[in-house]
């Protein structure tokens, strides 16, 4: 069927197929596309996932039983039988590295979850309430910021039991301040928006406003800061264990393994120093790359 021409002397035109209607991309899809374009972030996610699978699956992946000693062999260089060699007690170093990674990764993830939860709630409440309560909360936050984490951790480990739980609680008790200040600043800018004022007019409580309106808009900021706090916690735990105030034998962590091999630089047994150091380096780099990718993915002004 042809459509008659509106102008005399011009041929009639036949209607073509209807133009396809392109739906707007959802926010989740845009975030995923931005994240996948960040190659270093994807690589960081892959490395971190591989480390977590290997460490938490050490019971099935490790080539030897945990803490299986062979005092007759002692320390052996890396070989086909022992990929990372053995330590002074004849234990397979790859096996010990995987089990030690469970402690280091658990500390990092535990600190990230606890500090992010506490900091998000405190920052959101402080920013939304405002007034003298906001000032009081921020001054308390400033007091926590000036406390040296390493010194407090060393004191806590000497007073309390030197366990991963103690490290997680102390680091989370100090680490919530950073995310609290970030969330507070974002809430102060969001509380003037129309949707928050509309919720207040409709009779929504402060808890409902925080849970239903503010936190979903702060999800990107929260995830990015949580990912970066994992790296900070792992470095602090490794530093403390390296100084001898952290995880104590028979438990082991990557920092503890570094401490035990600290005096082997330049000796035939220096391979005992490289493996935990590389593990910490890969984990921290992977988490930081992941945090950079998440920050770019949740940035609504990102075009590339």
- Is the pLDDT at 23 greater than 60? The verdict is no
Enumerate domains of the chain plus CATH numbers.
35-69+84-297 (1.10.3720.10)
The arithmetic mean of pLDDT across residues 192-213, rounded, is: 76
* pLDDT attached to residue 301: 53
Q: What angle do CA 7, 11, 14 make, to 5 degrees?
A: 105
Q: What is the 3-state secondary structure (H, E, C) of 54-103?
A: HHHCHHHHCCCCCCCCCCCCCCCCCCCCCCCCECCCCCEHHHHHHHHHHH
User: How far is 267 from 1, CA to CA, in rounded Å?
Assistant: 89
Q: What is the pLDDT of residues 133-173, one digit of tens each?
A: 888 988 888 888 887 777 777 787 777 777 888 888 888 88
* pLDDT attached to residue 127: 85
The arithmetic mean of pLDDT across residues 232-258, rounded, is: 82
Is there a contact between 283 and 51 (Cβ–Cβ < 8 Å)? yes
To 10 degrees, what angle do helices 27-37 and 271-297 make? Answer: 140
* pLDDT attached to residue 6: 41
Query: For the whole model, what pTM was predicted?
Result: 0.79
- Is the pLDDT at 259 greater than 50? The verdict is yes
User: How far is 198 from 196, CA to CA, in rounded Å?
Assistant: 5
Is there a contact between 107 and 164 (Cβ–Cβ < 8 Å)? yes
User: How far is 225 from 219, CA to CA, in rounded Å?
Assistant: 10
Q: How confident is the model at residue 89 (pLDDT cuts 50, 70, 90)?
A: confident
Six-digit token string for 199:
């919720």
3: DSSP letter: B
* pLDDT attached to residue 87: 87
Q: Which residue has the higher pLDDT, 248 or 91?
A: 91
* pLDDT attached to residue 271: 85
* pLDDT attached to residue 1: 46
Q: What is the pLDDT of residues 93-104, one digit of tens each?
A: 999 999 999 999
Worst-scoring range by mean pLDDT, 18-27, 32-41, 88-97? 18-27
Worst-scoring range by mean pLDDT, 66-80, 119-133, 143-157? 143-157
* pLDDT attached to residue 293: 86
* pLDDT attached to residue 69: 85
* pLDDT attached to residue 14: 45
* pLDDT attached to residue 231: 85
Q: Going by C-beta distance under 8 Å and a sequence separation of 6 or more, which residues neighbour residue 241?
A: 247, 253, 254, 255, 256, 258, 259
- Is the pLDDT at 9 greater than 50? The verdict is no
User: How far is 116 from 267, CA to CA, in rounded Å?
Assistant: 43
Handedness of CA 69, 73, 74, 77 (dihedral sign): negative
User: How far is 15 from 86, CA to CA, in rounded Å?
Assistant: 78
Handedness of CA 139, 142, 147, 153 (dihedral sign): positive
Q: How confident is the model at residue 243 (pLDDT cuts 50, 70, 90)?
A: confident
């Amino acid at each position: 069927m042809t459509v008659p021409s509106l102008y005399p002397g011009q041929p009639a035109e036949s209607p073509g197929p209807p133009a396809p209607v392109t739906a707007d991309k959802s926010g989740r899809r845009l975030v995923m596309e931005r994240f996948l374009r960040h190659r270093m972030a994807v690589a960081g996610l892959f490395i971190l996932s591989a480390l977590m699978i290997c460490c938490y699956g050490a019971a099935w992946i490790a080539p030897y039983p945990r803490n299986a000693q062979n005092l007759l062999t002692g320390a052996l260089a890396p070989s086909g039988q022992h990929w990372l060699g053995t330590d002074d007690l004849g234990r397979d170093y790859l096996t010990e590295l995987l089990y030690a990674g469970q402690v280091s990764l658990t500390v990092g993830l535990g600190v990230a979850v606890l500090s992010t939860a506490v900091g998000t709630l405190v920052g959101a409440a402080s920013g939304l309430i405002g007034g003298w309560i906001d000032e009081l909360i921020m001054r308390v936050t400033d007091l926590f910021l000036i406390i040296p984490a390493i010194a407090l951790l060393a004191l806590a480990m000497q007073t309390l039991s030197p366990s991963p739980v103690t490290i997680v609680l102390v680091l989370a008790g100090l680490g919530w301040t950073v995310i609290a200040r970030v969330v507070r600043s974002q809430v102060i800018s969001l509380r003037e928006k129309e949707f928050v004022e509309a919720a207040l007019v409709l009779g929504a409580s402060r808890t409902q406003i925080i849970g239903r309106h503010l936190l979903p808009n702060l999800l990107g900021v929260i995830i990015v800061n949580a990912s970066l706090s994992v790296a900070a916690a792992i470095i602090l735990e490794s530093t403390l264990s390296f100084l001898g105030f952290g995880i104590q034998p028979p438990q082991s962590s990557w920092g503890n393994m570094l401490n035990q091999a600290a005096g082997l630089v330049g000796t035939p047994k220096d391979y005992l120093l490289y493996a935990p150091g590389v593990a910490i380096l890969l984990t921290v780099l992977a988490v930081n790359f992941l945090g950079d990718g998440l920050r770019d993915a949740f940035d609504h002004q990102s075009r590339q």
